[in-house]
Amino acid sequence: MNRQIPPKKNGGSRFPARKSRPCLFLLGAGVLLLGLIFTHAHVRRHSDISSIHRLATVVEKLELTDLALFTEARYTRHPSQADLYSAFQDHPTSLEHFPMGSIAAPSAALRRLHGKVD
Amino acid sequence: MIKLLNVRKGFNLGRPNEFVAVDGVTLSMEANRVTVLKGPSGSGKTTLLSLIGCMARPTSGRIILQRGLPREYLFPNGGDTTEVEVTSLPERFLTEIRRRTFGFIFQQFNLLKGITVLENVMLPAFPLGEKHGVVKKRALALLEMFGLSGRALAKVEWLSGGEAQRVAIARALMNNPPVIIADEPTAHLDSKLSSAFMEIIARLKDQGKTAIIASHDPLVFEAKMVDRVISVRDGMLEGDTA
Amino acid sequence: MARWIEKYRSILDFTLSSLVRRKGKNLSLLVVYVLVVFMLGSAMFLTEAMKREASLVLKGAPEMVIQRLLQGRYDPIPMSYLEKIRGIRGVISAEPRLWGYIYDSAIGANYTLMVPRNVALPSGEIMIGNGISRRRMIYSKDMMSFNLSNGSSRVFTVRDVISPESELVSADLVLLSEGDFREIFELPSTHATDLVVKIRNPKELVTVAKKVMELLPDTRPIIRDEMVRTYDSVFDWRGGIVTVLLMMALLAFVILAWEKASGLSADEKREIGILKAIGWETSDVIAVKAYEGLLISFFSFTVGILLAYGHVFFFSAALFAPAMKGWSVLYPDFRITPFVDPYQVAVLFFLTVVPYTVATIVPSWRAAIVDPDSVMRS
Ligand SMILES: Nc1ncnc2c1ncn2[C@@H]1O[C@H](COP(=O)(O)OP(=O)(O)OP(=O)(O)O)[C@@H](O)[C@H]1O
Ligand SMILES: [Mg+2]
Q: What is the total count of domains within chain A?
A: 2
Residue-wise pLDDT tens digits, A10-20: 444 567 778 88
Q: Which chains touch B (3 or more CB pairs under 8 A)?
A: A, C
Convert A71-92 to b/e letters by CB count within 10 Å (16 or more is b). Answer: bbbbbbbbbbbbeeebebebbb
What is the per-residue burial (b if ≥16 Cβ within 10 Å, else e) of C132-150?
bbbbbeeeeeeebebeeee
Nearest CA to ligand 1 atom 31: B42
Summarize pLDDT for C47-58 with one digit per residue, the tens: 889 889 999 999
A9: in domain: no
Check pocket membership of B11 for ligand 1, CB cut-off 6 A: yes
Residue in C8, C14, C291, C376 to test binding to B, most B beta-carbons within 10 Å: C376
- Residues A60 and A96 occupy one common structural domain: no
Per-residue pLDDT of chain B (242 residues; tens, 9 = 90+): 788 999 999 998 888 888 999 999 999 998 889 999 999 988 999 999 999 988 888 999 999 887 555 555 555 555 555 677 888 888 878 888 888 889 999 888 889 999 999 999 999 999 988 999 999 999 999 999 888 999 999 999 889 888 998 999 999 999 989 999 999 888 888 888 899 899 999 999 999 999 999 998 898 888 889 999 999 999 889 888 76
The arrangement of strands across the sheet holding B102-105 comes to B102-105, B179-183, B210-214, B34-38, B228-233, B236-240
A106 confidence band (pLDDT: 50, 70, 90): very low
B121 near B139, Cβ under 8 Å?
yes
- Is C247 found in the same domain as C335? yes
Verify whether ligand 1 is closer than 6 Å to residue B19 (CB atom): yes
Count CA atoms closer than 13 A to A4's CA, side-chain side. Answer: 2
Burial class (CB in 10 A: 0-12, 13-18, 19+), C153: exposed
Interface test with A, best of B122, B131, B149, B153 (most A CBs within 10 A): B153
* C80 and C31 within one domain: no
Same domain, A29 and A57: yes
DSSP A8: P
C70 and C195 co-located in one domain: yes
Alpha helices by DSSP H, listed for chain B, are: 45-52, 71-74, 91-101, 117-122, 132-145, 161-172, 191-206, 218-221
Mean pLDDT over all residues of chain C? 86
The Cα–Cα gap between C186 and B106 comes to: 97
pLDDT computed for residue A92 by the predictor: 43
CA torsion sign for C73, C74, C80, C84 is positive
Residues A28 and A55 in one domain: yes
Q: For C81-111, how does the pLDDT look when each residue is reduced to its tens digit (9 = 90+)?
A: 999 999 999 999 999 999 999 988 888 888 9
Q: What is the pLDDT of residue B70?
A: 55
The whole-angstrom separation of Cα C167 and Cα C119 is 18
Residues from chain C that touch A27, judged by Cβ atoms under 8 A, are 298
**Domain containing A59: what range?**
17-64
A102 in Cβ contact with A95 (< 8 Å):
yes
Nearest CA in chain A to B149: A1
Same domain membership, residue A52 and residue A84: no
- For chain A, the straight-line distance linking the first and the last C-alpha, in angstroms and rounded, comes to 81
> Which of these, B163, B152, B211, B212, lies nearest to B189 by C-alpha position?
B163
Q: Do B197 and B189 touch, CB atoms closer than 8 A? A: yes
For residue A115, pLDDT over 50 is answered with: no
Within this chain, do residues C99 and C206 fall inside the same structural domain, yes or no?
A: yes
- What are the DSSP calls for B106-161, one per residue? -TT--PPTTSBHHHHHHGGGGGGT--HHHHHHHHHHHHHHTT-GGGTTSBGGGS-H
Apex CA C10: angle with CA C6 and CA C16, to 5°? 145
Q: Is the CB of B126 within 6 Å of ligand 1?
A: no
Are C78 and C191 in contact by the 8 Å Cβ rule? The answer is yes
Ligand 1 atom, smallest distance to B216 CA: 25
Q: How far is C18 from chain B (nearest CA, A)?
A: 7
Answer yes or no: do C151 and C197 share one domain.
Answer: yes
C324-358 pLDDT, tens digit each: 766 677 888 888 899 999 998 998 898 888 888 88
**Whole-structure pTM value:** 0.82
Reported ipTM: the value is 0.88
Domain that holds residue C48: 2-58+230-377
The count of structural domains within chain C is 2
pLDDT at C61: 92
What pLDDT sits at residue C327? 67
What per-residue confidence (pLDDT) applies to B162? 87
Which of C195, C222, C249 corresponds to the end of one domain? C222
- Whether A93 shows a pLDDT value over 50: the answer reads no
* pLDDT for C282: 87
What is the Cα–Cα distance from B155 to A98, expressed in whole angstroms?
60
* Residues C46 and C71 grouped into a single domain: no
B46 lines ligand 1 (CB under 6 A): yes
Closest approach atom of ligand 1 to CA B50: 18
Residue A47 half-sphere exposure toward CB, CA atoms < 13 A:
8
Q: Which long-range contacts (CB under 8 A, 24 or more apart) does A80-84 make?
A: A80/C222, A80/C226, A80/C227, A80/C230, A80/C231, A81/C65, A81/C67, A81/C74, A81/C194, A81/C222, A83/C67, A83/C69, A83/C72, A83/C73, A83/C74, A83/C220
Measure CA of the first residue to CA of the last residue in chain C; give whole Å: 38
pLDDT surpassing 60 at residue A38: yes
Residue A95 to residues A87, A90, A111, C193, Cα–Cα distance (Å) = 10, 10, 13, 26
pLDDT digit string, tens, across residues C109-159 = 889 999 998 888 999 999 999 999 998 999 999 999 988 888 888 999 999
A41 in a structural domain? yes
Residue C163 CB neighbour total at 10 angstroms: 12
b/e C204-217 (16+ beta carbons within 10 angstroms → b): ebeebbebbeeebe
Residue C346 sits in the same domain as residue C278: yes
Q: Give the strand pairing for B236-240 and C143-147.
A: unpaired
Helix (H) or strand (E) holding B211: strand B210-214
- Taking CA–CA distances from B147, the nearest residue in chain A reads A1
Residues in chain A: 118
Query: Which of B47, B55, B115 has the CB atom closest to C277's CB atom?
Result: B55
Task: Verify that C245 and C347 share a domain, yes or no.
Answer: yes
